[in-house]
Structure 1
Amino acid sequence: MSAGAVADWLGVACLVAGGLLSLAAGIGVLRFPDVLDRMHAATKPQVLGVLLMLAGVALRLRTTSDIGMIVLVAVFQLTTAPVAAQMIGRAAYRSGRVDRSLLDVDELAEER
């Protein structure tokens, strides 16, 4: 088997794994009961799924310009997803949508 064929099969495996992780993230967003649980499902497996899909596409395309663009997409995904999750969690906390009894430590609570 040639190196190109091995890279193609690894790319397919990455695409399938990334698709399954993204599917799991979507199901988690629909099924989880709490804002913080949904935020967790929307960020962690989804980001890993996107990165696996990008790796799969990179393994299939294998050109310098395409890989450069894929790296840019991956960097933007890695920088924006945590910031968006932080802002969603903070807005949910401030609007009272977080069940504070479920928190182990509430660092934003006002000390009395």
Structure 2
Amino acid sequence: MIIDGIIILLLLGSAFFFLVGTVGLIRMPDAFCRMHATTKCDTLGAGLALLAIIAYRGFSIVSIKLLIILVFIWVTNPTSAHIIAKAAYKQRKVDIDK
């Protein structure tokens, strides 16, 4: 019963952060604000969803694989956002100079 409550809370938190990220993607004015809203919410939303699946499945080899995926997401999502922001900044700088 307690595990079910934790799973529900994790899934509700995941859905909330995905929703906030989607609203941020639609409502923010430029690429930098959109990227900030989506990367933060995607990382947290995916993390909570994967933690809910781990709690549902219990400790097994699948849980270990999901933890590896979770760590991979935590490392690659902010890194890719930084690289995209850097490219967008350089593109904006070139556009302004013209």
Name the TM-score, length of structure 1 as normaliser.
0.78
Q: 5+ unaligned residues in a row in structure 1: which ranges?
A: 101-112
Among 62, 67, 72, the residue aligned to 1:71: 67
Q: Residue in 2 aligned with 1:82?
A: 78
Matching residue of 1:19: 15
Whole-angstrom distance in 2 between the partners of 1:29 and 1:9: 30
Counterparts of 1:21-40 in structure 2 under 5 Å?
Answer: 21-40=17-36
- Amino acid of the residue matched to residue 21 of structure 2? A
Task: Name structure 2 gaps, 5 residues minimum.
Answer: none
Higher helix fraction (1 or 2): 2
What is the CA–CA distance in structure 2 between the aligned matches of 1:58 and 1:16, rounded to whole Å? 15
Residue 35 (structure 1) shift: 1.1
Q: Size of the alignment, in residue pairs?
A: 94
- Give TM-score, length-normalised by structure 2: 0.88
Matched, 1:58 2:50: no
Structure 2 letter corresponding to 1:41:
A
Percent same amino acid at aligned positions?
A: 28
- Whose radius of gyration is greater, 1 or 2? 1
For the Cα contact (< 8 Å) 1:11–1:58, is it kept in 2? no
